[in-house]
Amino acid sequence: MCTPPRSLRLLVVLWLFAGASQGAEPLRVLFIGNSYTYVNNAPQIFAQLARAALPGRQVEAGMAAVGGATLVSLWEHSDALRVLRSSKWDYVVLQENSLLGGGLRDGKFVVNAPSLFDWGVRLFDTEIRRAGARTVLLLTWSRRGEPDQQQDLDYAYDSVARELGAGLAPVGPAWKRAREQDPGLELYAKDGSHPSPLGSYLLACVVLSSLFPKANGGLPFEISGPALGAPGTVSGGNTVLVSMPAEQARKLQGVARSVVSELKRTGGYLGARAPRRPEEVAPAGAPIHADDLAGAWTGELDYYPDPALLDLTLRFEGVGCQGEVSIKWPNGKLRFDAPLAECAISGSELRFSVATLPLPSLIDRFSGRIVKDRLAGTVERTGRDLTNSMTGVWNLHRH
């Protein structure tokens, strides 16, 4: 997962494609996002497709994108607002970080909870509406190795789009269908995350069908334009951005049209439900007592990008519970020690919290149960300054 620096560099490219009717009011589309948008110059591909599909119309496509950026970071640390305010746009297409800013679940980077994304969309949507344009959310695809995370993305994009009445461009669902129809179709770049040229072509086809469902005309299957390098650069003149056999292009166009048409028949939204995750701890059993827990425990905590060693000490006096945790990383470069707070037994469950230094406004909340001869449970980070979802599991034995 790529996190942009505090001082963001902005990639802004603007093209004008004039159709046959010079007097017609141009259609102007601004893309705001990150490398998923600027890799293969997707706005350029869209603009040429739109030119072919809308004969006689002028089409302008602009872009404001930063590698790895979230919508919130684009709002706070880039020139995206200036670009939005600098011209009159008909549509503004918003594309969020591929993991919605990234969360941690059981020591693994995953799609973040929707709160950061929801915040970013609302910031931009207010400004977009004020400018007289329409917000369109570009629902992205899950990474190649994590197909189950498409459900997280579908829910995040669909829920905020429905609430705000924004448009939804279902690129992720179209991506999934295209790969189901042709498993050998390579929509991913080598990293299994970014789009290949074919992936960017499908992206552009979905945006085209979403914005202009009645557009007609033969669409090109080879598109040239400026190649984009690192954010903020145009590497050379025109080059072939995407090229494929005509039959393959027609298949991708057909997938885009069918997925968008199905979405239109359901009111323009997926009706996606929030993902439900299985509990990692054992079901409730017999009540546990202080004598079952008192003493020292040691084991593994899967919570951060690398597993850590967790030592837990518990002491009980009457109904009171006290203790400490020590979290150590195997490389020995980082260690964290803290006293327990809110420690208590409730039926078959032990609960305690730890203030997360050096940010005491963030709290790690642990809950666990006795599973045979082990103490196992889950942990979740909460707090008003938290933008990333963080959950994990831990499994300890007597020290």
Strands (DSSP E) along 229-294, which ranges? 234-243
Instruction: State both tokens at 228.
Output: 């984009």
Q: In whole angstroms, how far apart are CA 380 and each of 115, 279, 328, 348, 376? A: 16, 13, 18, 19, 14
- Give the pLDDT band of residue 286 (cuts 50, 70, 90): confident
pLDDT tens-digit readout, 82-106: 999 999 999 999 999 999 998 888 7
- C-alpha 271/C-alpha 290 separation (Å) is 47
Three-class SS state of 101: coil
Average pLDDT over residues 142-160: 95
Nearest Cα to Cα of residue 228 among 86, 51, 81, 44: 44
Burial-class residue 103 by CB neighbours within 10 Å (0-12, 13-18, 19+): buried
pLDDT tens-digit readout, 17-73: 434 445 568 899 999 999 999 999 999 999 999 999 998 888 899 999 999 999 999
Q: What is the pTM of this model?
A: 0.82
Q: From its phi and psi, is residue 236 left (phi > 0), alpha (psi between -120 and 50) or beta?
A: left
The CB density around residue 363, as the number of other CB atoms within 10 Å, is: 17
Average pLDDT over residues 104-120: 87
- Domains of the chain plus CATH, in order, are 11-265 (3.40.50.1110), 290-398 (2.40.128.20)
At 150 the pLDDT is 96
pLDDT tens-digit readout, 232-252: 456 567 889 999 999 999 999
